[in-house]
Amino acid sequence: MTRALGTVHGESGDDARRRTMYSIDSIGSMERENPMLDVLYYFWSTLRSGTNATPHFAEFDIFKIVPQANARFLSWVDATPEDPRNFIMARHPASPIPGMGAELTGKRLGDIPIPLHAESIFVEYLRCKRWKTPLFHEIEQIIGGYQRHYYRLLLPLANEKGDVTRIVYMNHFLTPPRQLYDPKVYRDR
């Protein structure tokens, strides 16, 4: 059963967002839409072995767990720094939105060129790190002239000390991203 825990709305210029956080138990109800979300969460939870410990990142090889996954929807960030603006995107998925795709690989979350999107990510990733718990969101947004609607699962992974140093994420697009307008043409009007 899907259970919303909270929704955040925001607008900045032409960009807009609605982000709804769901109970992690909601993933089971999404299984028909994307069974890999459920598989990924199930594998993460089995590594906990009945404890509340955050799984170790060395035990969690995402491409062995979900070999058919690719950079379009599955990746991770290095969450070692305390400030989420300094988290490093290890392998950012491709995107049709200029400046928001694979070119972000190896860059900090603070380098995301769309402030409204970046601010939301800072909060969500920091919660995942500090709470040491998976987070599941439905995200509807218009950024850089593109409309996107997707689910995102965040899974924290720890180092030997138990500190969260990696966050694996998977996106499942409910509709393909589509361009609503060209921001360059729109601004020149």
pLDDT in tens, 72-82: 578 899 999 99
173: helix, strand or coil = strand
Position 33 pLDDT exceeds 80: no
What percent of the chain stands above pLDDT 90? 40
CATH number, domain containing residue 42:
3.30.450.20
Number of domains in the chain: 1
Q: Give the separation between CA 178 and CA 160, rounded to whole angstroms.
A: 42
The domain of 169 spans 4-187
**10-21 per-residue burial string, b: 16 or more CB within 10 A, e: under 16:** eeeeebebebbb
Scanning the chain, the segments in alpha helix (DSSP H) are 35-46, 62-65, 115-131, 183-187
pLDDT of residue 61: 80
